Amino acid sequence: MKRIFKFFSFLIILSLFTAIKIRASIAVTSLTVRFEKDTAQYTISAIEQEGVLYVSLAEFSDVLGFGRFFNPKNKKMVVRMGNRAVKVSAFNPFLMVQETVKQMPLPAIEIRNELYVPLGIFLETLAGDFPYQSTFQPENKILTLWKIQYNIKNYTLEHKKNGLVIHLHTLRTFNPNEVAVALTQGWLHVTVYGGTLDTLAIFSNTPSGIVQKVLSYQFDHSAQISFLLTQQIQEKRVTCFSNRIEIALWYSERVPPMKVETPALPDVKNKWVIDAIVIDPGHGGKDPGAIGPSGTKEKEITLAIATRLKTLLENRLPNTRIELTRTSDTFVELEKRRQFANGRGAKLFISIHVNANTQRSLRGFSTYVLGVAKTKEAIEVAQKENSIVELEKTSDAYAEFQATEYILNAIAQNMFLKESQDLAREINTAVRQYTNMTLDRGVYQAGFLVLLGLNMPAVLVEAGYISNPAEERLLKTRTFQQKIAEALCEGIVKFKKQCEWAMK
């Protein structure tokens, strides 16, 4: 009995010590909130921890006019945003939005019986469920908000004997080249570049006929509506009118019952089984990448981690083909990396890098997907990784790719944007579980040339800061390289299971 008492006493002392340590690292500050076309501004209590700004969820809700309820016993708050309820729990990275679970890279925290959320991450995770558009300046601690002016009102379904017509009702005229339609794993993904959704109207609409489920996603420069279909589609056509986008779908020809051949369905399903993965060790050959204070080269670290990851994945996924874009210290052009992945029929693409910054105190692991950079840091990281084109013989050919319009259009046409974000979150979650020696800086978007034009979910990971002396020492060790590889492997395996389970 005495041993049990001593054990619990030890746990209490340990928890108090940890709480004191966490609080000691917290800097009390504030956030300024502004509304477009409104001269007034509001101040919200905030704290800064490990370079991340957390804001009081109660004050944030009050300023935006959201209803809220806080249960002090279980440390949970329900925030009512329009007709959607968002549940937030202390020390929990998961958000419950109606019946949908969304995961933040970092959890909400509780201080003095009040919930604080990591602002930038919180807004990005809510995405289309948040009724405002925003720009967040973390360096100045200023958040500017404006009401979303949607141009896609809703959808209606027109069922035919031999097909289906989906009408997206719009408030402006879209061009056909602004609309991308793709069929993957039974889902029809409609991506509209320049589209903004009335997500509440779409959410409240009821699917019917062969449409089993409808999901909507609002990205920075595009909107996506996904329809889960119970019927195989043979042909599709997109027509744009002044007040609607019309997607006409024709069913596959029906085969008489006696002639139905069972291999047809597995062929379709196997097409989307993740049976091939390409790992891309960044830089190589004449391109050393970033160089650490003691001379460690990025290209050496990325190849070491990638090689270990390949071995781990081959053991965990024996029926999956795992390939590297380079297996030695060789220079591979960006275009050839993309051609290799697409040509080999890869279903996932993971590009491995390490970060660098003139501020040597910066540290941590981060994951990127193709998108428009929202932060100064994301822009700098993309510029660093894209600088490889200066070493290529055909660097002029990338001028078009680096144009903002080209990147935005590529993002709009990217049918795997959501899947890439899901993969990135799984990887970051695994990194937190497998290594507690590096800070998880979250999931970001940026215009990486190596991710443009890939026909699969793709992410770029930055496995720590080689410019930070402490992390450089870690990145050089086999132990830490193995831990990073194990974390990447776990994230990929979990994503693969979720993806393949969803299409059963």
- Per-residue pLDDT tens over the stretch 116-174: 999 988 988 887 678 787 888 888 899 998 876 788 989 999 998 888 999 999 988 88
Confidence of residue 451 (pLDDT cuts 50, 70, 90): confident
For residue 74, what pLDDT is reported?
A: 87
**Residues in a beta bridge with 109:** 116
> What is the spatial distance between Cα 461 and Cα 318, in angstroms, rounded to a whole number?
24
SS3 track for 335-371: HHHHHHHHHCCCCEEEEEEEECCCCCCCCCEEEEEEC
Q: Which distant-in-sequence residues (6+ apart) come within 8 Å of 202 by Cβ?
A: 154, 155, 214, 216, 225
- Per-residue pLDDT tens over the stretch 168-198: 999 888 888 788 888 877 888 898 888 888 8
Complete edge-to-edge strand list for the sheet that includes strand 365-370: 321-324, 276-281, 348-355, 458-465, 365-370, 440-446
326: its two tokens: 């380079």
What percentage of the chain reaches a pLDDT higher than 70? 77
**Of 372, 470, 369, 481, nearest to 419 (Cα)?**
369
- Per-residue pLDDT tens over the stretch 220-268: 678 889 899 998 888 888 999 988 999 999 886 543 433 333 333 334 3
Asked whether the predicted pLDDT for residue 308 surpasses 90, the reply is: yes
Asked whether the predicted pLDDT for residue 307 surpasses 90, the reply is: yes
Are 196 and 223 in contact by the 8 Å Cβ rule? The answer is yes
Place of tokens 């999901």: 215
CATH number given to 152-268: 2.60.40.3470
Q: How much is the pTM?
A: 0.51
> What is the spatial distance between Cα 407 and Cα 403, in angstroms, rounded to a whole number?
6
CATH superfamily for 273-502 is Zn-dependent exopeptidases (3.40.630.40)
> What is the spatial distance between Cα 364 and Cα 288, in angstroms, rounded to a whole number?
21
Give yes or no on whether 25-147 and 152-268 have one common fold.
Answer: no
- β-pairing, 348-355 with 458-465? parallel
123: its two tokens: 């807004």
Asked whether the predicted pLDDT for residue 78 surpasses 80, the reply is: yes
**Of 497, 495, 185, 227, nearest to 369 (Cα)?**
495
The ranges assigned to domains in the chain are: 25-147, 152-268, 273-502
Place of tokens 């919200």: 44
Average pLDDT over residues 199-208: 80
> What is the spatial distance between Cα 65 and Cα 147, in angstroms, rounded to a whole number?
13
CATH superfamily for 25-147 is Copper amine oxidase-like, N-terminal domain (3.30.457.10)
